[in-house]
A and B are shown apart, each in its own frame.
Chain A
Amino acid sequence: GEDVEQSLFLSVREGDSSVINCTYTDSSSTYLYWYKQEPGAGLQLLTYIFSNMDMKQDQRLTVLLNKKDKHLSLRIADTQTGDSAIYFCAERASGTYKYIFGTGTRLKVLA
């Protein structure tokens, strides 16, 4: 099937690290994306990784990819209240323009 799965909620304290998880389904080469949706706004791309990579780091964001388990995670270091949002994982099979989004994980950062 074509399901990208995420847990629905995550709550962390300000200053802690957040880890948002996602499982995807496509077994061929694929791009995997993390989008952020703030209240009342559209989705905005945070970062992406290609399936031939294991890790990608961009400032406070670290993406880890476990190809064997088809598991993707997004780690946010030193989480701030401004990071409170819904985070979507999405996959796109290479050579296609079809994106499959997860249900989104709502991150709540407690002060």
Chain B
Amino acid sequence: DSGVTQTPKHLITATGQRVTLRCSPRSGDLSVYWYQQSLDQGLQFLIQYYNGEERAKGNILERFSAQQFPDLHSELNLSSLELGDSALYFCASSVNGKEGYTGELFFGEGSRLTVL
């Protein structure tokens, strides 16, 4: 158990809909990362938050947005869903910046999104 919790584990929805994926980082971790894993594209970095603020952006579509709340949990919002958005979405957390930091990311088990 990594200590990172993601909900829901599975989600099936239709094209055009909107969903929200939730992530609770490990206790004490200030940084949250979101990744998308699809069969043909490996692990794609979407976005990173640190202590409530956006720190880095990757290949995140404009239809997607995220935020990190004061209690450090994060949500990834996916809207106007398309078939190609079907993927496994991972959240990872890290201490970032603390002394002795080696950079380990702790991953949740992922949320599997299927768009029909």
Contacts and interface: CB of A to CB of B under 8 A. Distances in A.
Contacts of B107: 35, 42-44
Contacts of B48: 97-98
Interface string A84-111: 0000100010000111111110000000
Contact of A97 (B2, B90, B96, B108): B96
Contact of A40 (B96, B104, B109): B109
A60 B12 CA distance: 40
B86 interface: no
Interface residues of B, number: 27
A10 interface: no
Contacts of B35: 101
A24 interface: no
Contacts of A104: 42-43
Contact of A100 (B45, B90, B96, B110): B45
Nearest to A30: B103
A45 interface: yes
A33 B45 CA distance: 16
B56 interface: yes
A43 B105 contact: yes
A40 B4 CA distance: 15
Interface of B: 2, 4, 31, 33, 35, 41-43, 45, 48, 50, 55-56, 90, 92, 94, 96-97, 102-110
Interface of A: 31, 33, 35, 40-45, 48, 88, 92, 97-104
Given A33-B103, A102-B42, A104-B43, 13 more contacts: A31-B103, A35-B105, A42-B2, A42-B108, A43-B90, A43-B92, A45-B104, A45-B105, A45-B106, A48-B102, A48-B103, A97-B56, A97-B103
